[in-house]
Amino acid sequence: MNEFMAVLRRDIKLAAAQGGGLGMAIGFFLIVVSLIPFGVGPDLNLLARVAPGILWIALLLSVLLSLDRLFQADYEDGSLEHLVVGRAPLEFIIVAKVLAHWITTGVPLIMATPILGFFLNLEPDAFGILVLTMLIGTPALNFVGAAGAALTVGIRRGGLLLSLIVLPLYVPILVFGVSAVQSSMLGPDGSMQTMMILAAFTLASAALAPIAAAAALRANLR
Amino acid sequence: MKLSADKLCCARGGRPVVSELSFSLSSGDGMMLSGPNGSGKTTLLRAIAGFGEITGGELHLDSLKDTDELSQACLYIGHHNAIKPQLSVQENIDFWASFGGGDVAAALASFSLEPIKDVPASMLSAGQRRRVGLSRLALAKRPVWLLDEPATSLDKASTKTLSQLMQSYLDEGGILIAASHTDFDITLNKNLVLGDQGTAL
Query: How far, in Å, CA of A28 to CA of A20, rounded?
Result: 12
Q: State whether A86 and B72 contact (CB < 8 Å).
A: yes
Longest dimension (CA), chain A: 58
The DSSP result for A47-91, as a single string, is HHHHHHHHHHHHHHHHHHHHHTTTTHHHHHHTHHHHHHTSSS-HH
Is B27 part of the contact surface with chain A (CB cutoff 8 Å)? no
Longest dimension (CA), chain B: 47
Nearest to B13 among A3, A77, A222 (CB): A222
Is A1 part of the contact surface with chain B (CB cutoff 8 Å)? no
| Torsion sign (Cα): A94, A70, B139, B54 | positive
Closest-approach residue (CA) in chain B for A218: B51
- Has the ipTM of the complex gone over 0.85? yes
Q: State whether A218 and B51 contact (CB < 8 Å).
A: yes
Per-residue pLDDT tens over the stretch B5-23: 888 898 888 888 888 888 8
Per-residue pLDDT tens over the stretch A138-196: 999 999 999 999 999 988 888 889 999 999 999 999 999 998 888 877 766 667 888 89
Domains of chain B (ranges, CATH numbers): 1-73+142-201 (3.40.50.300), 83-140 (no CATH)
Give the alpha-carbon dihedral of A11, A65, A118, A178, to 10 degrees: -100
Instruction: Give chain A positions within 8 Å (CB) of B82.
Output: 77-79, 81-82
Instruction: Give chain A positions within 8 Å (CB) of B95.
Output: 6, 10
> What is residue B193's predicted lDDT score, i.e. its pLDDT?
84
Per-residue pLDDT tens over the stretch B174-197: 899 998 877 777 777 888 888 877
Nearest to A6 among B52, B71, B99 (CB): B99
Q: What are phi and psi of B77, to 5 degrees?
A: -115, 110
